[in-house]
Structures are given as C-alpha cells and as structure tokens.
Structure 1
Amino acid sequence: MCVYETGKAGQMLEVYYQVLDGQHGDLDINFKVIDPKNATLLTDYKSSENSIIMDLEMDGDYAFCMDNTYSMMNSKLVFLYVLVEDKNGVTRNDIEAKTAGSDSGDEQNDTEGDGAEPKEVLEWEGTDENGESYYLEVGKIADSLSVTLAHVVKSRHLLSIYAATKSRDSYLAFEDTFIVDVWSGIQISLMFVVGMLQVYMIKKLFSRDHLGYKDIY
C-alpha cells in the first residue's frame, strides 16, 4: 500500500509512522520513501516506528509505501503522518529579527532625513479605552497571525502523534488482556475436566457389582 504526496524542490518533508496494532503478531512493517523518478530514498525493514525529515530535490509526487507481505497471517494498523512545508517558513525568530530590523530602519531613516525613499506602510487604526487613537502596522499583525498558525499546526502535529501513541498503548493492553483471558479460559476448562474425572474415578472406586445388581456406597 502506498500513499502519495506532492512536493516541490527546496521544500522540507517530514514523515512519521507508527504501527499501532499487529493483531497477534509483531508490531513491525517495511517502509519505503520513493521519489517522483521511482528511486528509493529510504527503506526501513521490519520497523515499528520512525520519524524522517529530509529536503526535497525535485518536483512531483512522492510515494510512501508500507509492506506487510512477510506477515501473511496478521494484518497491521499503521498511523502515518506526512507534512510538506517550505523551508523558509515564518518563525518567531524571523518575526523578532524583522521587527527589530524595521525599528532600526525607521530610526535610520529619521536620521538620514530626505536621503531615504519614502515607504508606504499599511496601518490599522484603533481606539484605546481612553478614546485615543493608535495605529498598528498590518504587516506586524499578519506576522503575528502567521506565528500563531505555525504554533497551531505544530500543536496539532504533536497531538496527532500523542493520539497515535495512546491508541497503540490501548491495542497493546487489549492484546495482553486477550492473552490472559484465553489462558484463564483454558485453565478453567482443564480444572473442570480434571474435577469431573476425579468424581468419576471416586464413584467407580466405591461401586461393586454382585448378584446381578449394583450397590453404591
């Protein structure tokens, strides 16, 4: 089974997979990452989980293939997370550096006077609780929203991984409980058979046949 994701050269690829359930078999699987030219970039053999980060070198559809043909009796449940994003995404450090640079640039423009070219800045006008007007650059608001969005995406990514790990623990607990229940059933059945056999043997021990009838004590 393969899953495809479109990527472009220069972007960063992040892949995380984890085998959640293997029924009564091992929690492992073969995993491959294949580029648009059908060349294998990475291969994991009988691995339960892995986190992969790599830079994309060409445009096209990348394939993420999972193979379980070596386990004919047991199917596998796999959690797969694929994220393709630009390497030059907006980060907190970039915003702080950009803000500091713009502030220093404003001071430099003030000192240079008419030597600097005027720059058009789009501002948002607001009113504080005292009724006084204030202005905020729309660019800074957009940068703050971009940082917030990046944190939300990262939080969603971490929550997905946590949910997968929790699901895996649930499947493992269910598997262990199933094994305990099976062994308990076998032992109870064996104890019942042995008990019935003992009753039968004791009954035969105290029974005797004579004169055409059976006396039982």
Structure 2
Amino acid sequence: MSKLSLSLHRYILFPVLLISQFVSCIEREMTTTVEPGSKDCFYQFLKTGETLDIEYQVIDGGHGDLDISFEIAEPNGRVAYADFKKSDNIHRHKASTDGDYRFCFDNTFSSFNRKTVFFEIIIESEDGNSDNDDWNNDIFEGLSPEEYYDMKVEDIQNAINRVRTYLSKARQTQDILKSFEARDRNIAEENYFRVNAWSICQILLMLGVGSVQVFMVRSLFETDSKVNTIWKKLSL
C-alpha cells in the first residue's frame, strides 16, 4: 500500500474512531417491582470523581398511591440522599471515594400495594466522558504536526461532544416520556377498575334494596304471611 493510501486511510479512520470514543457513556435503565413490606437495593461501583445521575419514577401503585421511599448510601454506609413517599425525583451525586454505592427503593410502609418503579442511571467521569486518556495518546501517536493541525482535532472534539450531549439529552427525554406514558396508562387502568368496581357495588345495592321493598310491600297484602303477623303485633 502506498504512502498516499496510508495517509488517506488514516484521515478516514481517525474521525470514525474518535466518534466511537466520545459517544461511549455508561447508561442503564431498569423497571423493578417492589413488593409490599419489602425493600429492594441495587449497587453501582464508582471511582473517585465520577458522577452518578439517577432518576426514578413510580409508574404503577398496585391499586394504591404512586409513591416510594428512596435513599442513596455511600460505601461507608452514610446516607447521601433520602426521599420519603415520593412519586419521582432526580439526584446527582459525585463519588468521594471508590466503592459500591447503594441505592434502595423502600416499600415497607405499604401493607398491600406493590409498586412498579422505572429508574435510569448515568455515570460520567470528571470530563463528562469515559476514561480513555491512554487511548487518546495512542491515537495521536505517529501523526505529524501538520496532520494534527490540518485535521482540526479540537474542532472535531467539540462538535462530537455537542452531538453526544444532545443525543444523551434526547434519549433521556424519550425515556422520561416513555415512563410518563406507562404511568398515565396505569392510572387510566386503575381508574377504569375503580369505576367498574363501584358501579357493580351500586348495581348490587340497588337490586338488593329493590328486592327488599318488593318483599315488604307484598307482605302488607298477604294476611297469612309471617311478616304481616309481625306488622300487626308492632301496630298494636
């Protein structure tokens, strides 16, 4: 392969590799069900200086209120944040030490209703990206100063960082909208269940009252019925 071909290959491959570096980010999302009277905990390892963004939302209350208690604890056991009976919230915590950070969803205050919780976590280092400093040095190795400046690496980095930020925000917004849709659907289904249940109860009550009224009216005109006898004794 000629020197010109190698140079062109490097010019084409470098932006592709650079993009794959900058768009990498640790993001996780999960939906969990917390049974009544129980507490579910999750653990995430963080390095010093990394930032944990966590957002949660109760999307189903199991015929009860859409609320849950939540807390974030550091590796030494100190509780950094605590919420009591909230439907949703967002927390941002910067790790002060290496270790497993614990975040728990607490439904011990509920005796009958289980809660379905959607949550998303985003982990960023101090520069907002994954740790790839050594990889950066390797990718620039072998490039002449002319090639380095001609490619305007700083401009490419800034543009890719902006694209990555916008993509992350767009995806986070879509996840939030999806959780809103799930919560609204569960609320509508819960209201549908309550309306049907109360309607059935009212219909049964009306049928019962109507039957009692018919029985009582008929007993007034039947002289040999036991109810008529009781009425006569009461009237005396």
Matches of 1:21 and 1:183, distance apart in 2: 21
Higher helix share: 2
Matches of 1:199 and 1:173, distance apart in 2: 39
1:46 to 53, 76, 85: 85
Amino acid at match of 1:119: P
Which 5+ residue runs of structure 2 have no aligned equivalent? 1-39, 130-143, 225-236
1:2 equivalent to 2:28? Answer: no
- The 5 A counterparts of 1:1-217 are 1-89=40-128, 119-122=145-148, 137=152, 140-141=155-156, 143-208=158-223
Aligned-partner SS, 2:63: coil
Which 5+ residue runs of structure 1 have no aligned equivalent? 91-117, 124-134, 210-217
**Partner residue of 2:24?**
none
Q: What are the Cα deviations for residues 55-95 of structure 1, in whole angstroms up to 9, with x where unaligned?
A: 211122211111111212111111111111123237xxxxx
> Would the alpha carbon gap of residues 167 and 137 (structure 1) be closer, same or farther in structure 2, given more than 3 Å must change?
same
Matches of 2:179 and 2:53, distance apart in 1: 16
CA shift at 1:33, angstroms? 0.5
Range moving further from structure 2, 23-32 or 135-144: 135-144
The percent of aligned pairs where both chains have the same amino acid is 37
Larger Rg: 1
Q: What are the Cα deviations for residues 145-186 of structure 1, in whole angstroms up to 9, with x where unaligned?
A: 443233222211111111112211222222222222111111
1:16–1:52 CA contact under 8 A, matched in 2? yes
1:9–1:57 CA contact under 8 A, matched in 2? yes
CA shift at 1:188, angstroms? 0.6
**Partner residue of 1:126?**
none
Q: What are the Cα deviations for residues 104-130 of structure 1, in whole angstroms up to 9, with x where unaligned?
A: xxxxxxxxxxxxxx824258xxxxxxx
CA shift at 1:141, angstroms? 4.2
Amino acid at match of 1:66: F
> Aligned pairs, how many?
171
CA shift at 1:140, angstroms? 4.1
Aligned-partner SS, 2:145: coil
> Would the alpha carbon gap of residues 151 and 37 (structure 1) be closer, same or farther in structure 2, given more than 3 Å must change?
same
Amino acid at match of 1:180: V
CA shift at 1:2, angstroms? 0.9
1:122–1:139 CA contact under 8 A, matched in 2? no
Amino acid at match of 2:164: L
Amino acid at match of 2:207: F
Aligned-partner SS, 1:3: strand
Amino acid at match of 1:183: W
Aligned-partner SS, 1:178: helix
Aligned-partner SS, 2:147: coil
* TM-score normalised by L of structure 1: 0.69
**Partner residue of 1:106?**
none
Aligned-partner SS, 1:31: strand
